[in-house]
Structure 1
């Protein structure tokens, strides 16, 4: 097969692709669970349950026609729902504690290859976020992890959450390029499939530990992507950076 044409810019999924949400949220949740008298040993299960709420929320937003709200708002709703699963009434927890717990998503650590890979990719391509995260969340995360973005584009820029086509097309529009000149970089086949359906190029980065070694929930969407890499530094090698 011929080599694909190089993109003019790279747009990155963030949660799971650039940062290790599960390890970070597990670590933070262990602290908060202990503070409210719950078993910190259940923190990994709590993190997984909180993330499952995210997937359900994205589907629910689309079906209900609910007006767009920032991901910080949804994360707080999901946190409270997860606490109820743990038989904990969030109304009985101090508001400052809940707010800080919700900001665990602002403090996610990058994967070990992420900063080096992004730094190399940035030498040849503009690198921006294409995430369902809101701007405040993504800015805090970038500062926490030293992520060298050229631009941080939260879901507010399109007023839509992926996999809504507006999220992908608006990002290309803001960069002043055609959809086919933008590549999404993601660890999720479903995200890449939606981007491809909008005309974007696609670069897959394998993150087998995203779910603690459990199978990814979107494996059924797998295709042959323009690029497939084991890390962001491997992708930099493939793209000549």
Structure 2
């Protein structure tokens, strides 16, 4: 396999939840004090999983045109109330400020250990940015806390639509003033890459086999003909930067 430069790639955009950051452990950590304060019997990981399960259906309503675009923070907040209702708790019985604070759990996620060093290497050669369904402030807070070195914040709130709608990928390429084939989507989710490839983007799969815990059954391996397949961002950088040292001018 050649380098990314051989493919004409100029920018890399990244799925964030599950690919760059470990949402499950982070949310479970942040909800634990709330569970204790409310004397709930639910496991903190089951709470996190239940919250995440509402993610796709909520975005589908926007993609289908059943509601106007709202940022993911709004959907997360609504989904939190659904989770509480499912646990037999009336969300109105809890101060709104407490729920607003709990909703910030998604702003406090830790990166996978290889993410920041791998991104830092890739940034030396490529434009790097999130292409997440997360809103701008959410992405900024995660990046500031974790030291993620994005060049820009792109994604759903910028183009006013959620993945995997084609406009998310195509409008992002246009915003970067490049052709779709010059943009590479990096994700741990095969469906994200399938949608990106259908729009003409290059694709890179990075395996995150513990995103959903040890019982994970989906996205354990690459399920398509992606341009790059790696087990970490560091391995991805090794693949994409092949030959770059030969292209650099000699040190003076």
The aligned counterpart of 1:7 is 9
Post-superposition shift, 1:62?
2.8
Post-superposition shift, 1:170?
1.1
Post-superposition shift, 1:58?
2.3
The aligned counterpart of 2:173 is 172
Counterparts of residues 81-230 of structure 1 (less than 5 Å): 81-217=82-218, 222-230=223-231
Q: Return closer, same or farther for 1:13/1:216 CA change in 2, 3 Å cut-off.
A: farther
SS at match of 1:225: coil
Q: Distance in 2 between matches of 1:215 and 1:198?
A: 28
The aligned counterpart of 1:17 is 19
1:2-41 per-residue CA deviation (whole Å, 9 max, x = no partner) reads 77614110001100000000000011111111122213x6
Aligned pair partner of 1:27 in 23, 26, 29: 29
CA RMSD, 1 decimal: 1.8
Post-superposition shift, 1:65?
2.5
SS at match of 1:101: helix
SS at match of 1:211: coil
Q: Distance in 2 between matches of 1:68 and 1:144?
A: 27
Greater Rg, structure 1 or structure 2? 2
| Gap regions ≥5 residues in structure 2 | 245-252
Deviates more, 1:84-93 or 1:199-208: 84-93
Q: Distance in 2 between matches of 1:207 and 1:140?
A: 22
Q: Distance in 1 between matches of 2:143 and 2:216?
A: 27
Q: TM-score, normalised by structure 1?
A: 0.94
1:40-88 per-residue CA deviation (whole Å, 9 max, x = no partner) reads x611001001000002212333335311000000000111101111111
**8 Å contact from structure 1 (residues 183, 203) kept in 2:** yes
Q: Distance in 1 between matches of 2:221 and 2:235?
A: 24
**8 Å contact from structure 1 (residues 36, 93) kept in 2:** no
Q: Return closer, same or farther for 1:77/1:220 CA change in 2, 3 Å cut-off.
A: farther
**8 Å contact from structure 1 (residues 189, 219) kept in 2:** no
Post-superposition shift, 1:195?
0.3
Q: Distance in 2 between matches of 1:114 and 1:218?
A: 18
Q: Return closer, same or farther for 1:232/1:208 CA change in 2, 3 Å cut-off.
A: same
1:120-156 per-residue CA deviation (whole Å, 9 max, x = no partner) reads 1101101011000000110011011110000011312
What number of residue pairs does the alignment pair up? Answer: 240
Q: Structure 1 residue runs of 4+, over 4 Å off?
A: 1-4, 216-221
**8 Å contact from structure 1 (residues 138, 154) kept in 2:** no
Q: Distance in 1 between matches of 2:116 and 2:217?
A: 24
Deviates more, 1:200-209 or 1:146-155: 146-155
Q: TM-score, normalised by structure 2?
A: 0.90
Deviates more, 1:178-187 or 1:6-15: 6-15
